[in-house]
């Protein structure tokens, strides 16, 4: 049986799965592939680069997609929101700062405002500005996240919504990469999931193949949260958010020695950038979460989505049989 939730009904999509708006990684082709397969694809606007965004919005063609931004970075280029809203996106996904100043513009454009939150306090701020969907993001996630874990954060936010804003939708993010994760998220009280790392390892993702290959053999034990990867890229994140990446020679050398890294940027920044471009996973960091231990092959996004959904359907159907009274 297909999984129908308030999310699939409200968005008019077949499956309760959203592509995480991974900055620079989730381009138009990946977003369109996820939407065309029955989920909702979100372009990763990331730190906000106008010409990249224009090209990726074009690459999405006629697919119904949304777009995400790193909110504190959007604050420096707020006009980029209008560029995206002109394309009539289904949703705008904001994360990592107070979304209040953008809520009205998103609503006036007829797009769903999705706010990714890392704590109960963030959730309250998102509700105060009228978000239509919250994404409870645990620190297992690939990329930046806060301190909470997905397993207890999702039901806590589900309870908050039930009490305060029962019409607001809820998705879970962080550590979900297969049907078990999707089924678990629904049981925890979410209406759907936001998936990043699993789609990072898709054919359509804008990731150098060398970085993807390195992730295929890694365990979830091999990730860490660090500031070193931001410092070397000149990204100045608020203290409470750190980035989860795969450990490698770069993080072994610089994690915990960020002050020394700061002094060595003249040489370290260009060499990190070159390694990134070359897909050299020893010196550039694959940005993935703990779910990396569940990734074993790079596949088309549609195949990934279909398998996750079929597996969750099977699990939920057999769980329902188990709990039926005799």
Ligand X SMILES: Cc1cc2nc3c(=O)[nH]c(=O)nc-3n(C[C@H](O)[C@H](O)[C@H](O)COP(=O)(O)O)c2cc1C
Nearer to ligand X (CB atom), residue 178 or residue 268: 178
Measured CA to CA, the distance from residue 87 to residue 96 in angstroms comes to 24
Which residue in the set 95, 118, 212, 228 belongs to the binding site for ligand X (CB under 6 A)?
95
Nearer to ligand X (CB atom), residue 99 or residue 175: 175
Q: Which of 99, 182, 105 is nearest to 133 (CA)?
A: 99
Q: Is 269 exposed, middle or buried (0-12, 13-18, 19+ CB in 10 A)?
A: middle
Which residue in the set 3, 70, 103, 113 belongs to the binding site for ligand X (CB under 6 A)?
70
> Is residue 147 helix, strand or coil?
coil
Backbone angles phi, psi at 178, to 5 degrees: -150, -175
In the range 156-195, which residues lie near ligand X by CB under 6 A? 173-176, 194-195
Rg (CA), the chain: 19
- Residue 102 binding ligand X, by CB under 6 A: no
List CB contacts of 267: < 8 A, sequence separation 6 or more. Answer: none
Nearer to ligand X (CB atom), residue 143 or residue 160: 143
What does DSSP assign to residue 271? H
What does DSSP assign to residue 313? H
**Which region among 6-14, 15-23, 275-283, 310-318 touches ligand X (by CB under 6 A)?**
15-23
Nearer to ligand X (CB atom), residue 44 or residue 132: 44
- Residue 27 binding ligand X, by CB under 6 A: no
Judge whether 191 and 154 are in contact, CB under 8 Å.
no
Which residue in the set 16, 39, 48, 68 belongs to the binding site for ligand X (CB under 6 A)?
68
Which residue in the set 30, 81, 287, 294 belongs to the binding site for ligand X (CB under 6 A)?
287
Nearer to ligand X (CB atom), residue 157 or residue 263: 157
Measured CA to CA, the distance from residue 114 to residue 99 in angstroms comes to 10
- Residue 16 binding ligand X, by CB under 6 A: no
**Which region among 14-22, 54-62, 119-127, 220-228 touches ligand X (by CB under 6 A)?**
14-22
- Residue 39 binding ligand X, by CB under 6 A: no
In the range 221-260, which residues lie near ligand X by CB under 6 A? none
The CA distances from residue 305 to 35, 40, 301, in Å, are: 10, 11, 6
Measured CA to CA, the distance from residue 266 to residue 277 in angstroms comes to 18
Nearest approach in angstroms of CB 126 to ligand X is: 13
- Residue 21 binding ligand X, by CB under 6 A: yes
Residues near ligand X (CB under 6 A) are 20-23, 25, 44, 46, 68, 70, 95, 116, 137, 140-143, 173-176, 194-197, 200, 287-289, 291
């Amino acid at each position: 049986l297909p999984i129908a939730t308030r999310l699939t009904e409200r968005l008019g999509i077949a499956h309760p799965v959203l592509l995480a708006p991974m900055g620079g990684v989730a381009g138009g082709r990946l977003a369109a592939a996820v939407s065309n397969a029955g989920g909702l694809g979100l372009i990763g606007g990331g730190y906000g680069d106008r010409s990249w965004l224009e090209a990726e919005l074009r690459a999405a063609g006629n697919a119904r997609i949304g777009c995400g931004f790193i909110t504190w970075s959007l604050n420096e280029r707020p006009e980029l929101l209008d560029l995206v809203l002109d394309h009539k996106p289904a949703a705008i996904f904001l994360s990592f700062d107070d979304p209040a100043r953008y809520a009205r513009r998103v609503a006036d454009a007829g797009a769903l405002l999705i706010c990714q939150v890392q704590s109960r306090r963030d959730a309250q701020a998102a509700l105060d500005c009228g978000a239509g969907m919250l994404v409870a993001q645990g620190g297992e996630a690939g990329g930046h996240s806060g301190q909470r874990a997905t397993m207890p954060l999702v039901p806590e936010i589900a309870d908050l919504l039930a009490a305060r804003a029962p019409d607001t939708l809820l998705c879970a993010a962080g550590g979900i990469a297969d049907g078990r994760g999707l089924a678990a998220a629904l049981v925890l009280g979410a209406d759907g999931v936001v998936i990043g790392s699993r789609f990072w390892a898709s054919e359509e993702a804008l990731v150098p193949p060398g970085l993807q290959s390195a992730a295929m053999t890694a365990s979830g034990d091999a990730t860490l949260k660090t500031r070193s990867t931001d410092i070397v890229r000149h990204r100045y994140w608020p203290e409470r958010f750190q980035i989860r990446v795969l450990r490698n020679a770069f993080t072994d050398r610089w994690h915990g020695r960020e002050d020394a890294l700061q002094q060595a940027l003249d040489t370290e920044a260009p060499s990190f950038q070159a390694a990134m471009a070359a897909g050299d996973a020893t010196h550039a960091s694959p940005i993935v979460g703990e779910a990396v231990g569940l990734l074993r092959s790079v596949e088309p996004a549609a195949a990934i989505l279909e398998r996750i959904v079929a597996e969750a359907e099977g699990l939920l159907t057999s769980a329902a049989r188990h709990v039926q009274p005799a």
